[in-house]
């Protein structure tokens, strides 16, 4: 293995190693102590600067300490604005609801009731699955291979990753996993395969309440569903009275360009889950958007103490300003093209690494078939001051997802660091005479 950088006193992880649970993970990939951050940069306790190609796994689409949101937030607190409110009506929540209607839903002709579940993504998913089961009176739900929907039991049951599923410690029932687009190889129509199970009375699969799907699998290796596949999935759902849930927790809020990742495909999900960047400032917040016909909750039937994170509502409302600018989605797509060109250039520069391009918008990556290589490249990048993580069940994809507000110069600089890191790893394999597959 390529050695980790030596760690000095200020960046010592001793306290974390002795006190914090073994469950900690990202501090192992990025073994320094961070102290400051701004826009697309972070600094550790020794003042070393890092460029962020990770963006809090998609929770920092508007960058670290977004200046506009920060000012609103500080003023709100100084004026003794409500901080915690369960689901009581507050001025900050009203302002967010009105702005979300005006800036996001209305221009897209979307009619959703807005539910505030607990403040995390997995809460939004649990709420979606629960209401789908209630509305249809069915127990089974369908998820897809390599999907990721969160860590609570309902969400885990529709998650593909074996390691994460095993962590449940109990059988994960009432869910069926179907092949995602492309899972069975090119040219195999996995929707036709899925329909076979629904239409055949001998399939052993009971009619599901809902299908939950990501348009692009952010954790599961950056597999993309194409528009036609998603449209066919929607048609299938309509035919069998199955509710269609889009988990837009990571791909929503502009990660692929448009606010909702499904917009370009012309589909109308019954339920949409949002979290990660919806709170704007990296503050915890989640939404489960419900078609009005699905909103059959009894008051309080699903609740949670932290549904009223008003500090997040203040930043979430402010973040919507980006979506009033007509060119925001276009700027993401344009920077996405720059990233795609850069990554494809690097792939052809190092053909021996056998990299394969993946992605859409500002979530892209390179799949490396050689076991462990993506992680080694990310570690090499980190030593050079670039933060990026792997994706996929076998951590086979080096994933790039900078804050959406990143400037083109920084994007290019990060690509340069990634290129140097790929060079280092290629050189290491050459020197050690490790046979590349």
Ligand X SMILES: *Cc1c(COP(=O)(O)O)cnc(C)c1O
Q: Which residues bind ligand X (CB under 6 A)?
A: 120-122, 125, 148-150, 214, 218-219, 247, 249-250, 275-276
Of the pair 114, 151, the CB lying nearest ligand X is at: 151
Of the pair 284, 355, the CB lying nearest ligand X is at: 284
Of the pair 51, 147, the CB lying nearest ligand X is at: 147
> C-beta of 32: minimal distance to ligand X in Å?
23
Beta strand extents in 131-281 (DSSP E only):
141-144, 175-178, 210-213, 243-247, 271-274
> C-beta of 214: minimal distance to ligand X in Å?
5
> C-beta of 331: minimal distance to ligand X in Å?
23
Residue carrying the six token digits 């390599």? 146
> C-beta of 20: minimal distance to ligand X in Å?
18
Q: Which two tokens stand for residue 229?
A: 């596949």
CA 307 to chain centre: 20
Helix (H) or strand (E) holding 398: strand 397-400
Do 42 and 36 form a contact (C-beta atoms < 8 A)? yes
> C-beta of 253: minimal distance to ligand X in Å?
11
Of the pair 76, 116, the CB lying nearest ligand X is at: 116
Helices assigned H by DSSP within 200-244: 227-240
Of the pair 122, 410, the CB lying nearest ligand X is at: 122
Nearest to 314 by CA among 116, 114, 59, 94: 94
Closest residue to ligand X: CB criterion: 121
> C-beta of 19: minimal distance to ligand X in Å?
23
Helix, strand, coil shares of the chain, percent, nearest 5, are 40, 15, 45
Specify the 3-state DSSP secondary structure of 270. Answer: coil
Of the pair 250, 364, the CB lying nearest ligand X is at: 250
Of the pair 120, 410, the CB lying nearest ligand X is at: 120
How would you class 280 by CB atoms within 10 Å of its CB: exposed for 0-12, middle for 13-18, buried for 19 or more?
buried
What's the rounded Cα separation, in Å, for the pair 92 and 87? 12
**Helix/strand/coil (H, E, C) string of 275-290?**
CHHHHCCCCCCCEEEE
> C-beta of 368: minimal distance to ligand X in Å?
22
> C-beta of 27: minimal distance to ligand X in Å?
16
Q: Which two tokens stand for residue 265?
A: 């495909």
What's the rounded Cα separation, in Å, for the pair 64 and 59? 10
How would you class 4 by CB atoms within 10 Å of its CB: exposed for 0-12, middle for 13-18, buried for 19 or more?
exposed
What's the rounded Cα separation, in Å, for the pair 253 and 147? 19
Of the pair 279, 308, the CB lying nearest ligand X is at: 279
């Amino acid at each position: 293995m390529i050695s980790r950088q030596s760690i000095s006193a200020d960046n010592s992880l001793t306290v974390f190693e002795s006190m914090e649970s073994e469950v900690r993970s990202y501090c192992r990939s990025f073994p320094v102590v961070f102290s400051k951050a701004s826009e697309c940069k972070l600094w550790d306790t020794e003042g070393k600067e890092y460029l962020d190609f990770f963006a809090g796994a998609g929770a920092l689409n508007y960058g670290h300490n977004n200046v506009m949101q920060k000012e609103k937030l500080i003023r709100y607190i100084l004026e003794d604005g409500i901080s915690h409110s369960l689901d009581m009506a507050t001025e900050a929540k009203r302002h967010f609801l009105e702005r979300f209607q005006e800036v996001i839903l209305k221009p897209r002709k979307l009619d959703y009731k807005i539910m505030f579940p607990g403040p995390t993504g997995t809460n939004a998913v649990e709420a979606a699955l629960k209401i789908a089961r209630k509305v249809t009176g069915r127990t089974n739900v369908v998820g897809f291979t390599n999907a990721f929907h969160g860590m609570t039991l309902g969400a885990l049951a529709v998650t593909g990753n074996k390691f994460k599923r095993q962590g449940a410690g109990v059988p994960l029932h009432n869910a069926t996993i179907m092949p995602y687009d492309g899972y069975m190889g090119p040219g195999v129509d996995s929707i036709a395969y899925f329909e076979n199970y629904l239409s055949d009375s001998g399939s052993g699969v009971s009619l599901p309440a809902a299908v939950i799907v990501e348009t692009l699998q952010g954790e599961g290796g950056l597999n993309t569903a194409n528009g036609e596949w998603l449209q066919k999935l929607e048609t299938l759902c309509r035919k069998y009275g199955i509710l269609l849930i889009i988990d837009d927790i990571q791909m929503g809020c502009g990660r692929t360009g448009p606010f909702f990742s499904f917009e370009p495909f012309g589909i109308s999900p019954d339920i949409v889950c949002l979290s990660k960047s919806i709170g704007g400032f990296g503050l915890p917040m989640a939404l489960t958007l419900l078609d009005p016909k699905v909103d059959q909750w009894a008051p309080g039937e699903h609740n949670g103490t932290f549904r009223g994170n008003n500090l997040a509502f203040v930043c979430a409302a402010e973040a919507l300003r980006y979506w009033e600018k007509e060119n925001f989605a276009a700027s993401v797509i344009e920077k996405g093209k720059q990233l795609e060109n850069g990554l494809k250039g690097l792939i052809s520069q190092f053909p021996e690494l056998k990299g394969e391009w993946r992605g859409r918008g500002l979530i892209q990556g390179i799949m490396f078939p050689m076991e462990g290589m993506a992680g080694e490249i990310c570690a090499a990048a980190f030593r050079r001051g670039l933060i990026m993580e792997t994706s996929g069940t076998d951590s086979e994809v080096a994933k790039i997802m900078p804050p959406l507000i990143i400037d083109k110069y920084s994007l290019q600089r990060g690509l340069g660091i990634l290129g140097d890191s790929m060079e280092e790893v290629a050189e290491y394999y050459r020197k050690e005479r490790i046979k590349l597959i």
